[in-house]
A and B are shown apart, each in its own frame.
Chain A
Amino acid sequence: MSETLAAPVTVSRSLWADARIRLFRNKAAVTSLFVLTFMGVLAIFGPMFSPHQYERVYTAYVRVPASLSAYPKPDQIAPAVERIAARMRAQIDRQQIIGGSVRVTLVSPRAIDERNLAFFGRSDLFQGANVIERADEGKKLVIDAPIRWRTFLFGTDGNGRDLFTRTLIAGRVSLAIGLLATGVALLIGVIYGATAGYLGGRIDTVMMRVVDILYALPFIFFVIMLVVFFGRNFILMFLAVGAIEWLDMARIVRGQTLSIKRQEYVQAAEALGVTSGGILKRHVIPNTLGPVVVFMTLLVPKVILLESFLSFLGLGVQEPMTSWGVLIADGARNIQNAGWLLFFPALFLVSTLFALNFLGDGLRDALDPKDR
């Protein structure tokens, strides 16, 4: 066996590999990535595992505070039993909680209609009621009503819907809207900007003039007109919002393109007779992606905020569907008597936006060739 000396292998690293290494060294950016992944997984899969439906109304639990222990609380049971007894036209002789159920002795001057025991089952608090003992020809009943335990981690809203499930569903909507609109803005902005920058000359001037005019159009006006046109179809609306948000993207890409097209490899491609479209696709657009990726991570929060702004005005997502903006607007109205309605959705929104911002900063540092 002959010994072979391994030649020192130097692997050249691409811009992207280099950037990835730098990104993973950035603690804030890595944490942000984890937070975003966590949020995404929670929003997509969370509602499937939640015991509550997001549009289910619990009339017995309107605006109950967030709590780790299950509802009903001990002090809620007695009044609930009293209400049901009143509807059954019976008085309560004795009631006590035994284990997971409540033992009630009902008395009435006339025979108690046992069909009315269904009120227990219909209540949000009990699973139903069983008669244990009948006395005085049905004028006295001893019943056993097992309590239905429910946990509302984030409390419930003004209609008695579970805020935890609603926050997760809202996350789905908000994130989807953010990504969708950003995707549209990205597509239009990159193609438009790269074309303008690469073709240059008069075409560039005209194309950028169009962008300038669109900038002068008041943004809110545009958005409200979109709401008027598309009404309740918010997916369509956010495709349209993306179609407005591309202006900055186009400017950034154009600026990048202007500098890229003077590079030797572009001239080489031109000399070899590659078509303009081919050069754009193969050389220009891939090389503008650095700043574009950074801008994207900042555009997603912008769109999410825009959606929540529209929802605040009552023009966004419609009930019973919800979004973080809708929940926050609702919470802001109830801030004095039900702080958790604002706190939890705001916590989710702000931490997502925080993570996106730090990821954007991390990407900028990682992709910035000046720091090399």
Chain B
Amino acid sequence: MLSYILRRLVSALPTLFVVVTLSFFLIRLAPGGPFDLEQPLEAKVMENLNRIYKLDRPLIEQYWLYLSHLATGDFGPSFYARDFTVAELLSRGLPVSITIGGLALLLALVIGIALGTIAAFRQNHAADYSVMVFATFGITIPTFVVAPVLQIVFGLVLAWLPVGGWNNGHVRNLVLPVVALALPQIAVVARMIRASMIEALRSNHIRTLRSLGLPRSTIALHALRGAMLPVVSYMGPAAAALLTGSVVIETIFGLPGVGRYFVEGALNRDYTLVMGTVVMVAVFVLVFNLIVDILYALLDPRVRYDT
């Protein structure tokens, strides 16, 4: 297993390389530069800025410089937030995004699995229908509608929770963003679990357990093992997306996470910040895909990676 993980990590490097290369040239192709202001800077100033940040060198040389710095773990200075390096920006924002995203992930899995299992056991009954209607609502109502409604109801009308802000991760500040972020995920997980659980409940080994008169909870646990497979493969990319921050949630609730860096970086042509964010997301995606494959092997004994 260990050698498999190592091999996968090594084989992920070329992918990472392609991703970095593609996005490097893509952002450079975009019109405009990081120092374009509404009032153009003096030519001399612009020249100096470009020289300091090495933007006057040929693109290939800049690419090579970026790659060689990246290899040593140096993301470079941010062009827009001039006093910060990209590494500093990421290390500030990432804990916020991981806290919110991680809690949302946990919530989505726990509640989604519970709802999906209940719906599957009571297929075509009232409980099933209510779960499905809830799930469809969860998928169809955009986050930027749910979030302001939550703010109004719990923040202003009932005044139970603060409407926004980070406040060093105080629990009361976390509740609304986590719930808003988790709702669509809960819905997706519930639907998937319901579908695969219904199939699992029809399979022979579950029928055997039923005929033995085992309690429902035991049967559910056994069926869940097989039913988890599609959710696991869905959750890989989804978890990476959740943990690397949501622009919408961070904007609405005023959270200092990394989700906003993409939009801000790309719009300000903050090349290094965009590249840093791309690398971060790509690493998350690759790592979570690996975790998915390992979980697959644990859940489904037919999948083996020894060879």
Q: For the complex, is A132 an interface residue (Cβ under 8 Å from B)?
A: no
Question: Are A328 and B144 in touch, CB under 8 angstroms?
Answer: yes
Task: Judge whether A217 and B152 touch: CB under 8 Å.
Answer: no
Please determine whether A357 and B19 come into contact, CB atoms closer than 8 angstroms.
Answer: no
- Minimum distance in angstroms from B234 CB to a CB of chain A: 11
B142-A305 in contact (CB<8A):
yes
Q: Which residue of B lies closest to A354 (CB)?
A: B140
* Contacting residues, chain B, for A187 (C-beta < 8 A): none
Query: A216 and B282: CB pair below 8 A?
Result: yes
The answer to whether B15 and A213 have CB atoms under 8 Å apart is yes
> Do B19 and A225 have beta carbons less than 8 Å apart?
no
Write the nearest CB–CB distance from A73 to chain B, whole angstroms: 26
Q: Are B145 and A346 in contact (CB under 8 A)?
A: yes
The contact size tier of chain A is 20 to 34
Q: Considering the chains assembled together, what is the distance between the CA atoms of A315 and B247 in angstroms?
A: 13
User: Looking at A315, A332, A350, which has the most chain B CB atoms within 10 Å of its CB?
Assistant: A332
Give the nearest-CB partner of A334 in chain B: B148
Measured CA separation A190–B152 after assembly (Å):
44
Contact A335 B149 (CB under 8 A): yes
Contact B152 A228 (CB under 8 A): no
Q: Is the CB of B145 within 8 A of A332?
A: yes
Q: Does B40 contact A (CB under 8 A)?
A: no
Can you sample 9 A-B contacts with CB below 8 Å? A216-B285, A220-B247, A220-B263, A229-B29, A229-B31, A335-B148, A336-B152, A336-B156, A346-B141
The answer to whether residues A229 and B30 also contact, given A213-B18, A215-B285, A357-B139 and a CB cut-off of 8 A, is yes
Chain B: minimal CB distance from A179 (Å):
17
Is A218 a contact partner of B262 (Cβ separation < 8 A)? yes
Query: Which residues in chain A, 20-69, are within 8 Å of chain B measured between CB atoms?
Result: none
Q: Is residue A312 within 8 Å, beta carbon to beta carbon, of the partner chain?
A: yes
B136 close to A221 (CB less than 8 A): no
Contact B140 A357 (CB under 8 A): yes
Within the complex, the shortest CB–CB distance from A336 to chain B, in Å, comes to 7
Q: If the complex has contacts A218-B278, A335-B152, are A224 and B285 also in contact, measured as CB distance less than 8 A? A: no
Residues of B close to A346: CB separation below 8 A: 141, 145
Q: Is the CB of B139 within 8 A of A309?
A: no
> Beyond A217-B282, A224-B263, is A308–B142 a contact (Cβ under 8 Å)?
yes
- Residue A342 interfacial (CB < 8 Å): yes
B114 touches A (CB below 8 Å): no
Judged by a CB distance under 8 angstroms, whether A93 is at the interface is no
Within the complex, the shortest CB–CB distance from B239 to chain A, in Å, comes to 14
Min Cβ gap A187→B in Å is 23
In the assembled complex, the Cα of A212 lies from the Cα of B14 at a distance in Å of 12
Q: How far is the CA of A301 from the CA of B188 in the complex (A)?
A: 14
A residues within 8 A CB of B212? none
Provide the residues of chain A in CB contact with B140, threshold 8 Å.
Answer: 301, 349-350, 353-354, 357
A163 and B234 CA atoms in complex are apart in Å by 39
CA distance A215 to B274 in the complex (A): 17
Stretch at the interface among B20-28, B46-54, B73-81, B169-177: B20-28
Does B286 make an interface contact (CB < 8 A)?
yes
Question: A224's contact among B252, B266, B286, by CB below 8 Å, is which?
Answer: B266
Determine if B18 and A312 form an interchain contact, defined as CB atoms under 8 angstroms apart.
no
**Which of A221, A229, A332 lies at the interface centre, i.e. has the most chain B CB atoms within 10 A of its CB?**
A221
Q: Does A175 contact B (CB under 8 A)?
A: no
Indicate whether A181 reaches chain B with its CB closer than 8 angstroms. Answer: no
Render B28-57 as a binary contact track against A, CB cut-off 8 A, 1 for contact. 011110000000000000000000000000
